Amino acid sequence: MDSKLRVAVVQDGARRHYAMPRALRRAGMLAGLYTDWYNDGSFQARALLRLAGLLRPELAGRMRERGCAELGGVPIFDHKVSSLVGQGIIRWAGWNNPLPPLIWRYQGWKTLSRTPLAKGSAAVDAVLAIAFMLSPAACQRLQRRGIRVVADQPIAAVREGIRQRDRAAQRWRGWEAAHGGRGGAEAVLRWEQAEAALFSAVDHLTCASGYVRDSMVTQGVPAGKVSVIPYPADTVAYGPLNRQGRTGAAAVGFVGAVGLRKGAPWLLEVAKRCDPKLVKFVMVGPIQVTDFGQGQLRGRVELVGPVPRSAVRDWLGRFDIFLFPSTCEGSAGAVMEAMASGLPIIASPNSGTVLRDGVDGWIIPYDQPEAMAQRVMELAEDEEKRLAMGRAARRRAEEFDIDYYSRELAALLHRVCGK
């Protein structure tokens, strides 16, 4: 599309390896990237990574990979020092602590402060931002300058997220640290109110799945204000792998944070119902459960721990089936990567995937481990079906490549801006 629109992207982290800015650059619309940390190879970046490596090697590994060759020459604005400190605080405090929402809000303010976008010197027509990097006041300042604001909601709205969180905490006591008591509840209420105010302030909202859209509509957002645009799959980095003719137990894999939100206890319940002579279960990702939770998993599930993004493809290559019983997502990137690698998928509807039930795998509610286990065993015992569903999953992922995402975002932004 021939475009004269100029769009600034505001996001934290790499987020699908910078899918939003990459897509807009391909459309000729990217005016700049505003983020918390970007590894530009500068002396400051190298020095901070060296320091982080001494204190938190896992964090340093993740931050080192935050860069993208495709964005070479794009104006990029970040705040490395405060970002690294904020990430460290979140990991130290724990994800169930009320601190993360406060840190994210601060990171959003810091990302936009003292930049051309904040000062008014950036010539842009629209801002496309991860929702919690914005505030109503920031939206109003941009809109007064004639800039349209589109927010991408990367996960279910707060009310749905908290409902699922509390349900899991009550069902699986002792698996994660307790929430912040009354102070925590008050913090959640403030977060929900802030989210509602932001939803009202922006010009339009995007999200990657019907699950997220429905959670926003339930909170009062008009359905016409939300566009569902699934995130792209990296079909180049995660190419199809040959899994034919393997012997031994089929490997049922999971990639993501090992915690309540992504359904770690439910995965264990599936494992308990499967024949260990025919299947083995492996979870790859940061471990967020308590020692008690880890003790429950061990013996039935192999816990690998965190790995660099560059190692994920190798792990997917070792798997024969991908299981993702998440309780709350936006649209799980791990599932899309598994599909791109040619794995059959068993996932919950809350995972927000583009999975076609019965074609690429199955969509089963996370709290139905018996049904999930039956499908796991069905695939473990039928290599032909396993491979056929994996090939279908790969073809499905190819429909959602970066060029598709570029076209969809460009078309939406033209509609929102009226150009």
Q: Residue-wise over 287-301: b if at least 16 C-beta within 10 A, else e? A: bbbeeebeebbeebb
pLDDT band at 63 (very low <50, low <70, confident <90, very high): confident
Q: How many Å apart are CA 36 and CA 129, to the nearest integer?
A: 13
Q: Is residue 347 a contact partner of residue 353, using CB atoms and an 8 Å limit?
A: yes
pLDDT of residue 106: 52
**pLDDT mean over 118-137:** 88
pLDDT band at 74 (very low <50, low <70, confident <90, very high): very high
| pLDDT beyond 60 at 182 | no
Beta bridge partners of 375: none
Q: Is 198 exposed, middle or buried (0-12, 13-18, 19+ CB in 10 A)?
A: buried
If one compares 111 and 404, the residue with the highest pLDDT of the two is: 404
Pairing of strands 321-324, 301-305: unpaired
pLDDT of residue 382: 97
pLDDT band at 95 (very low <50, low <70, confident <90, very high): very low
Q: Is residue 347 a contact partner of residue 363, using CB atoms and an 8 Å limit?
A: yes
Lowest mean pLDDT among 152-161, 169-178, 286-295, 401-410: 169-178
pLDDT band at 122 (very low <50, low <70, confident <90, very high): confident
- pLDDT tens figures, 7-34: 999 998 899 999 999 999 999 999 999 9
Lowest mean pLDDT among 93-97, 184-188, 228-232, 301-305: 93-97
pLDDT band at 116 (very low <50, low <70, confident <90, very high): confident
- pLDDT tens figures, 197-247: 999 999 999 999 999 999 999 999 999 999 999 999 999 999 999 999 999
Determine what percent of the chain is predicted with pLDDT higher than 90: 73
pLDDT of residue 178: 66
Whether 250-398 and 7-232+402-417 are alike in CATH topology: the answer is yes
| pLDDT beyond 60 at 103 | no
Collect all residues with Cβ–Cβ distance below 8 Å to 158 and sequence separation of at least 6: 188, 191, 192, 195, 219
CATH number among 2.60.40.10, 3.40.1010.10, 3.40.109.10, 3.40.50.2000, domain 250-398: 3.40.50.2000
- pLDDT tens figures, 350-395: 999 999 999 999 999 999 999 999 999 999 999 999 999 999 999 9
**pLDDT mean over 146-165:** 94
Q: How many Å apart are CA 235 and CA 224, to the nearest integer?
A: 31
Lowest mean pLDDT among 53-67, 76-90, 105-119, 293-307: 105-119
If one compares 188 and 332, the residue with the highest pLDDT of the two is: 332
Collect all residues with Cβ–Cβ distance below 8 Å to 299 and sequence separation of at least 6: none
| pLDDT beyond 60 at 183 | no
**pLDDT mean over 189-204:** 91
Q: How many Å apart are CA 280 and CA 282, to the nearest integer?
A: 7
pLDDT band at 192 (very low <50, low <70, confident <90, very high): confident
Q: Is 158 exposed, middle or buried (0-12, 13-18, 19+ CB in 10 A)?
A: buried
The angle subtended at Cα 29 by Cα 24 and Cα 35, nearest 5°, is: 60
Q: How many Å apart are CA 90 and CA 84, to the nearest integer?
A: 10
Q: How many Å apart are CA 269 and CA 297, to the nearest integer?
A: 10
The per-residue pLDDT of the chain, averaged, comes to: 90
7-232+402-417 — its CATH code? 3.40.50.2000
pLDDT of residue 94: 53
Give the three-state DSSP class for 280.
Answer: strand
Task: Give the DSSP letter of residue 224.
Answer: G
Lowest mean pLDDT among 47-56, 330-339, 375-384: 47-56
Q: How many Å apart are CA 370 and CA 368, to the nearest integer?
A: 6
E-assigned strand segments in 356-407: 361-363
**pLDDT mean over 178-199:** 73
| pLDDT beyond 80 at 102 | no
Q: Is residue 304 a contact partner of residue 283, using CB atoms and an 8 Å limit?
A: yes
Collect all residues with Cβ–Cβ distance below 8 Å to 155 and sequence separation of at least 6: 161, 212, 328, 329, 330
Q: Is residue 26 a contact partner of residue 3, using CB atoms and an 8 Å limit?
A: no
Domain ranges for the chain, please list them: 7-232+402-417, 250-398
**pLDDT mean over 95-103:** 46
- What strands, in cross-sheet order, belong to the sheet with 204-207? 76-77, 30-35, 7-11, 126-130, 148-152, 204-207, 226-228
